[in-house]
């Protein structure tokens, strides 16, 4: 950790009030810390969405302690963990894959330890608010100088559960990672997968997108560089700021306009 004022970030699906409580716990333990709420608006239970947010955002934040909490398994046998990265950051959160993609972007996992030591928790631990009682205290103590190895025994973090894209000849099937606040679908595929399936793909190329859930459907989209490459209300495929493929509607919601809310995978074909 840097010798200057410690930096702590928080990203949760809690909403403002519960996230503010977590920030207060960090400040109480590490009053010199600079605490940033990166987001309190992750879709509830959206582990993949939270993982992609952390992966995209943390490389642009100062080296510090980064708390990620999207925790559908709170209170169960799932482990709370702290992961030290090659860049020097420590990621704190549930061991459900949430933290692993970001760790990879921050120089990889150097070591990880379970948050077991009661000295670095609140005196009373609830069954349903580990963000307040376990994760935030751990973050505060790390920011105040406690070593990761003091928190508990070493562990191997679980990977994020995301299917790989499937590349065929003239076909690309990709999982839907999440739907953003604009209704755009961010896919688990990258430009290299698009090239592997279709070869060089100029902007403006028409494609067909097909899905089976929530109900079978298909739509014609074009591969574009920007939303403005199509008229308002028209759909497109583009590369989002995280380097992933995405389906969008210019000035609209792809999830609503195309009936893709709840879609798990989509398949692209060249027309």
pLDDT tens across 204-237, in order? Answer: 999 999 999 999 999 999 999 999 999 999 999 9
Angstrom distance (rounded) from CA 237 to CA 224:
6
pTM: 0.94
Bridge-partner residues for 11, per DSSP?
A: 39, 68
Q: Average pLDDT, whole number, for the chain?
A: 96
Question: Tell me, what's the pLDDT at 4?
Answer: 79
The burial class, CB within 10 Å (0-12 / 13-18 / 19+), for 228 is exposed
Residue 71 has pLDDT above 70, yes or no: yes
pLDDT digits (tens, 9 = 90+) for 95-151: 999 999 999 999 999 999 999 999 999 999 999 999 999 999 999 999 999 999 999
Angstrom distance (rounded) from CA 232 to CA 226:
12
CB 180 within 8 A of CB 254: no
- With pLDDT > 70 as the criterion, what percentage of the chain qualifies? 99
The strand pair at 245-249 and 185-187 is best described as antiparallel
């Amino acid at each position: 950790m840097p010798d200057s004022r410690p930096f702590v970030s928080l990203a949760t699906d809690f909403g403002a009030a519960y996230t503010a409580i977590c920030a207060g716990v960090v400040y109480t333990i590490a009053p010199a810390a600079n605490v940033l709420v990166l987001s309190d608006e992750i879709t509830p239970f959206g582990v993949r969405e939270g993982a992609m947010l952390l992966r995209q955002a943390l490389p642009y934040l100062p080296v510090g302690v980064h708390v990620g909490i999207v925790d559908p398994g709170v209170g169960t046998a799932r482990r709370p963990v702290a992961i030290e990265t090659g860049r020097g950051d420590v990621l704190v959160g549930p061991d459900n894959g949430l933290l692993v993609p970001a760790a990879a972007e921050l120089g990889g996992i150097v070591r990880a330890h379970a948050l077991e030591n009661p000295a670095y928790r609140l005196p009373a631990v609830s069954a349903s608010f580990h963000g307040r009682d376990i994760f935030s205290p751990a973050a505060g103590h790390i920011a105040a100088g406690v070593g990761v190895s003091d928190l508990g025994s070493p562990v191997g973090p679980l990977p994020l559960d995301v299917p790989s894209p499937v590349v065929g000849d003239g076909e690309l099937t990709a999982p839907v990672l999440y739907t953003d606040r604009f209704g755009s679908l961010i896919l688990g595929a990258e430009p290299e997968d698009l090239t592997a399936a279709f070869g060089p793909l100029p902007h403006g190329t028409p494609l067909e997108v097909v899905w089976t859930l929530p109900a079978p459907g298909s739509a014609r989209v074009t591969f574009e560089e920007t939303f403005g490459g199509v008229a308002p209300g028209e759909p497109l495929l583009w590369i989002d700021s995280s380097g992933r493929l995405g389906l969008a509607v210019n000035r609209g919601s792809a999830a609503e306009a195309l009936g893709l809310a709840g879609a798990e995978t989509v398949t692209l074909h060249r027309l």
